[in-house]
């Protein structure tokens, strides 16, 4: 049994020694290649080229980051300008609505003034008709009174006695009263006519003011429409510039992302190579320790 164990240990030791010898030879070859690569100008040029390419990629990355910051600042400025244009458009729209409201109010006032003017004209015609009727009634009453006075004077001439007692005092009082009433009616008519004329003049002034306000509102509305058209054109231009800058920024971001992915892949590959080398060295160390333990056990 001890012989079999010794024979097994010898076989394992031979295998381990062969494996160690092979690994040491391979390690020596790799070390020589590394030393030759480090000492040769080709290796230095490759390393310098790699470092130069890495430096160029870092510069491109910094340049892309600066361009990204610049594009973001320009985007923020454009967004603020668009917001200002929108607020101005809203103000112009509110002013336009206010002008429309003022125009509608002016039109309503104009219609009311026209209606008032028509009513005043109708009232003036009606008052003229009433005055003509009053004049006709007054003329008829005056003619009746003249006839009564004439008949009364004829009846007075038939009486010779007491001429003072039969003077037409009541008729004169009645005539004076009628004349006073007529004068009062005329004064009232003149007062009403003057009031109507004053109301008509005021209505005309209000009408002219409403017409002027309407013209001013129309001019202001035209100016506001022109400003609105200009603002719409500026808004469209700003939106086009913003869209173009967004496209440019997206293209640069895609290029930057591709460069980052390439660098990340290269980084991962280098990490994998370094991890493989470390793992090989770790395995070699474990193998050396195992062989040392086997040799010590064999001894």
pLDDT of residue 9: 86
Q: Under a CB-based contact definition with an 8 Å cutoff, are residues 256 and 64 in contact?
A: yes
Average pLDDT score, the chain: 78
pLDDT of residue 163: 45
Q: What is the 3-state secondary structure (H, E, C) of 50-81?
A: HHHHHHHHHHHHHHHHHHHHHHHHHHHHHHHH
The C-alpha angle with vertex 66 and arms to 72 and 46, in degrees rounded to 5, equals: 145
7-21, 49-63, 163-177, 243-257: segment of lowest average pLDDT: 163-177
CA–CA separation, 100 vs 77, rounded Å?
34
Average pLDDT (252-266) is: 80
Residue 159 in this model has a pLDDT that exceeds 50:
no
Residue 149 — very low, low, confident or very high, per pLDDT cuts 50/70/90? low
pLDDT of residue 85: 83
- pTM, 2 dp: 0.34
**Tokens 């494996």 appear where?**
19
Average pLDDT (75-92) is: 84
First-residue to last-residue Cα distance in the chain = 18
pLDDT of residue 201: 79
More confident residue, 41 or 229: 229
Task: Report the share of the chain in percent with pLDDT over 90.
Answer: 0
More confident residue, 79 or 165: 79
How buried is 227 (Cβ within 10 angstroms: 0-12 exposed, 13-18 middle, 19+ buried)? middle
pLDDT tens digits, 27-53: 888 888 878 776 666 555 666 776 787
Residue 164 — very low, low, confident or very high, per pLDDT cuts 50/70/90? very low
Q: Under a CB-based contact definition with an 8 Å cutoff, are residues 230 and 89 in contact?
A: no
Residues 6 or more apart whose CB falls under 8 angstroms from that of 61 comprise: 256, 259, 260
Task: Report the share of the chain in percent with pLDDT over 70.
Answer: 86
Average pLDDT (43-67) is: 76
Residue 167 in this model has a pLDDT that exceeds 50:
no
**Tokens 């980051």 appear where?**
65
Closest by Cα among 97, 109, 256 to 117: 109
| Residue 22, both tokens | 């092979």
User: What separation in angstroms does the CA of 205 have from each of 22, 192, 221, 256?
Assistant: 119, 20, 24, 74
């Amino acid at each position: 049994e001890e012989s079999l164990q010794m024979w097994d240990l010898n076989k394992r030791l031979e295998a381990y020694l062969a494996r160690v010898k092979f690994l040491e030879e391979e390690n020596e070859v790799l070390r020589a290649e590394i030393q030759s690569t480090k000492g040769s100008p080709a290796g230095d040029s490759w390393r310098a080229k790699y470092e130069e390419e890495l430096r160029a990629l870092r510069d491109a990355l910094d340049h892309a980051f600066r361009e990204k910051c610049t594009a973001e600042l320009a985007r923020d400025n454009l967004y603020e300008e668009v917001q200002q244009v929108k607020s101005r458009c809203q103000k112009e729209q509110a002013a336009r609505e206010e002008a429309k409201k003022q125009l509608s109010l002016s039109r309503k006032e104009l219609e009311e003034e026209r209606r008032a003017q028509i009513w005043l004209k109708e009232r003036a015609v009606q008052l003229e008709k009433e005055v003509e009727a009053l004049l006709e009634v007054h003329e008829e009453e005056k003619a009746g009174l003249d006839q009564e006075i004439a008949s009364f004077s004829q009846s007075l001439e038939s009486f010779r006695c007491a001429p003072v007692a039969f003077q037409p005092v009541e008729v004169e009082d009645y005539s004076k009263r009628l004349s006073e009433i007529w004068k009062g009616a005329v004064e009232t008519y003149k007062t009403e006519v003057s009031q109507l004329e004053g109301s008509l003049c005021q209505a005309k002034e209000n009408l002219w003011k409403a017409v002027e306000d309407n013209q001013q509102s129309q001019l202001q509305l035209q100016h506001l429409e022109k400003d609105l058209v200009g603002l719409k054109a500026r808004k469209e231009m700003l939106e086009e510039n913003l869209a173009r800058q967004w496209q440019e920024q997206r293209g640069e971001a895609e290029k930057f992302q591709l460069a980052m992915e390439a660098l990340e892949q290269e980084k991962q590959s280098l990490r994998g190579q370094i991890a493989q080398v470390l793992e090989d060295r770790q395995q070699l160390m474990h193998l050396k320790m195992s062989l040392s333990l086997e040799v010590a056990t064999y001894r």
